Amino acid sequence: MSDGTGTKSALLVVNIVLWLLQIALAAYFLYSAYMLFFEPGMVKKFDNIGFGQWLRHVTGVLETAGAIGLLIPGLSGLAGLGLALVMVGASGTEVFILDNGDATLPLILLLASVIVAIFRRGDITAFFSRLRPGR
């Protein structure tokens, strides 16, 4: 008869892998946000997009907030979901707006962010449950 240690071990491994993924994503998104704020080439890229520099700043803030959220237990699922939405926008921009755009990296980041959101979906539901205490 099984005592559940195999299941506990598997859950521990999944949790460790998720934390490693979250740390890697957080590091990348912090780097990306830094580039958005301080890399002169990004000004030109966002000029080519045509929505103005406000979008570059908003994207940098969203990526910074998402990266921090990935590292906070209880917010990591919501951060993954938010970053996935940012990457949907980035992928669409690369494919439909930019000449010679390459959506490979945004799609990889989208997939990784969705994985975090799915596996941390309990954090998402708990967050929204706290917002509605009467239910």
Is 1 a residue whose pLDDT tops 60?
no
Over range 57-83, report the average pLDDT.
98
Determine the structural domain holding residue 65 and report its residue range. 5-131
pTM value?
0.91
Question: Which one has a higher pLDDT value, 2 or 108?
Answer: 108
Please state, for a pLDDT cut of 90, what percent of the chain lies above it: 86
The closest of 61, 10, 68 to 34, measured between CA atoms, is 61
The closest of 44, 86, 43 to 61, measured between CA atoms, is 86
Determine the pLDDT at residue 6.
Answer: 84
Q: Where are the alpha helices (DSSP H) in the chain?
A: 5-38, 40-49, 53-70, 76-92, 104-119, 121-131
Domain count, the chain: 1
Is 47 a residue whose pLDDT tops 80?
yes
Determine the pLDDT at residue 134.
Answer: 72
